Chain A
Amino acid sequence: MENNSRRGFMGKAFGAVAGVGAVASLYAMKKSWDPLPSVKAAGFTTLDMTIYQENVMVTEKWRGKPIFVLKQSAKMLEKAKENPRDIERLVEIAGAHYMVCVGLCTHLGCIPAFRPASNDFKCACHGGEFDASGMVQMVPPPRGFDIPPFKIDGSKLVLGEAGPEWQAMKDNGITL
């Protein structure tokens, strides 16, 4: 009987040591899978917004993802003004309006193609559609294009840094 309780104690003592070790190693394993500091540090892109032309869709790159930049023409802007959800998505710099979005379908991350004839985006994977301001027009995507964190710096736009304009968009639920 005494032996049994001593063995029981040894078993529990080992269990405690092994438990601490298991939790600690799980923590280390989890952290080893995290994105590396070098990956995180490379997460900023600066765009010079003066070079874009109206009606021309340009794809930039930020954190390995495509960024759609589309300077809005008067016609697009008129259409966007009809819907407050559309106009709120646009970034205004020096009087001009730009759509600046992560160019990945919010469904499963394919890159939709811009269709100049109809001024909209169509995703080939599952048929989702987005208008010229990046708002979703046809499911399955659950929402419009995400807007990357940005900060307006004169005529430049810094992607990866959250400025007040972007924070306002996030707070109003325009982007995630």
Chain B
Amino acid sequence: MAHFTKATSIKDWFNQRLAVEKLEKVMMSEYWIPKNINFLWAMGMVLVITFVLLVVSGIFLLMYYVPTTDGAFYSVNYTIMREVDFGWLWRHVHGVAASVVFLIIYIHMFTGIYYGSYKKGRELIWISGMLLFVAFSAEAFSGYMLPWGQMSYWAGMVITNLFSGGSLHADGLVEWIRGDYVPAQAFLGRFFMLHVLLIPLAIMGLIGLHFGALRIPHVNNQDGEEIDFEHEAKKYLDGDKAGSKVMRFANDFMSKDMMVVGVFLIFFFYLVFYNYGFAMDPVNFDPADGLKTPAHIYPEWYFLWSYEILRPFNIDLGLVLFAFAQVIFVLLPFLDRSPNTCAANRRGPLFAVWFWLMLSNMIVLTAMGKLPPEGIFSTIGLVSAVLFVVMWLALPIITSMEKKV
């Protein structure tokens, strides 16, 4: 048995049993962050805070929500919104955070693409991040079912139908996923379970993996410079704080991180209190009706780009391209053949154009996904969808042509 001595303080008591001092060093004060970064490096912390907001507001909603097809709509729109004191607050925080979290995820993703933060040992950070994106998408979809309004029902119908695989007609699989011929009690019950237990567990595990994958390669910096962290840390600890290229995670970097979080939270609660409408589709304030399709079925804004890739084609080709769009980002570290790890604009004209065109094209796809599929919008949507696929296929070619900078 390990040797324990009489504790000299409460901290010492914990130190002997949990090595809190060492833990604090490993996790915080001697976890080194490059100095050459900007506010975009705070998005990870913003996401952590948003996830906490989702969990806390979700806990309060869970106490009053009733997961039955008869009770769900009423429990959300009457019990939580009108009876529970501050019930509206939890619902609006939950709804707005669910939407805003995707905005931050996209910023986080494109920051990573721009600075090449998925290369040279950082592949696993990127892959675990994309798995988190998938898990968050599943969490968003399953949560969208729960109020059991018209959009919940019909989004559930359309998305589960995707699993029939077009001409494969795997209707048995679709019925198995639903537990019924159409979305009904069995469907609501299992998506409730997924939303409040299984997917959040997966998300928490993936966040652990994401952070773990960051530990050894460390955070990237604005120039993609390869830093000798041990050397720079020693310089810092020896007193040359100004000359060292790194700083402590806590409290040095954290203080700036939390500054950005503070600005974000002001923006976030402005939305929650004054502009929550964008996260609450008016159609979903009608109870689910299996015999009436809403005039337009569209997903929330963060799924529109991939929805638009599905839409202009016949069902089989549409599904193939949709699946392509879902997985292709995961493969980015292997499709980018260039030896350079630095900002997109400095990697030569080809990749710079690719990056900005990809970003604009996804914004165009998002806009077209919201507009009715008619006339010129259909054509723009089709061109954008084709462009998306072509650009990904071209990526290995243009990046292998890139010169070392």
- B186 and A36 within 8 A (CB): yes
- B186 and A35 within 8 A (CB): yes
Stretch binding the partner chain, chosen from B18-26, B158-166, B219-227, B338-346? B158-166
Q: How far is the CA of A140 from the CA of B158 in the complex (A)?
A: 14
Chain A CB within 8 A of B293 CB: yes
- B373 and A176 within 8 A (CB): no
- Set of chain A residues within 8 Å of B316, measured between Cβ atoms: 142
Chain B CB within 8 A of A139 CB: yes
Chain B CB within 8 A of A107 CB: yes
Stretch binding the partner chain, chosen from B307-315, B325-333, B349-357? B307-315
Closest-by-CB residue of A relative to B374 is A127
B166 to chain A, nearest CB (A): 7
Partner of B158, one of A35, A39, A109, A112: A109
Stretch binding the partner chain, chosen from A8-16, A63-71, A77-85? A63-71
Q: A33-B190, A140-B318 are in contact. Are A111 and B179 (CB under 8 A)?
A: no
- A125 and B293 within 8 A (CB): yes
Inter-chain contact count A-B, CB under 8 Å?
82
Chain B CB within 8 A of A55 CB: no
- A140 and B313 within 8 A (CB): yes
Q: How far is the CA of A26 from the CA of B176 in the complex (A)?
A: 14
Chain B CB within 8 A of A124 CB: yes
Chain B CB within 8 A of A137 CB: no
Closest-by-CB residue of B relative to A125 is B297
- A35 and B162 within 8 A (CB): no
Chain A CB within 8 A of B208 CB: no
A174 to chain B, nearest CB (A): 15
Contact flags B189-203 to A (C-beta < 8 A → 1, else 0): 010000000000000
- B291 and A59 within 8 A (CB): yes
Closest-by-CB residue of A relative to B373 is A127
Q: Name B's A-contacting residues (CB within 8 A).
A: 154, 157-158, 161-162, 166-167, 169, 171, 175-182, 184, 186, 190, 290-297, 311, 313-316, 318, 373-374
Known contacts A59-B291, A108-B162, then 4 further A-B pairs from the complex at CB < 8 Å, ordered by chain A residue: A39-B180, A65-B181, A111-B291, A126-B311
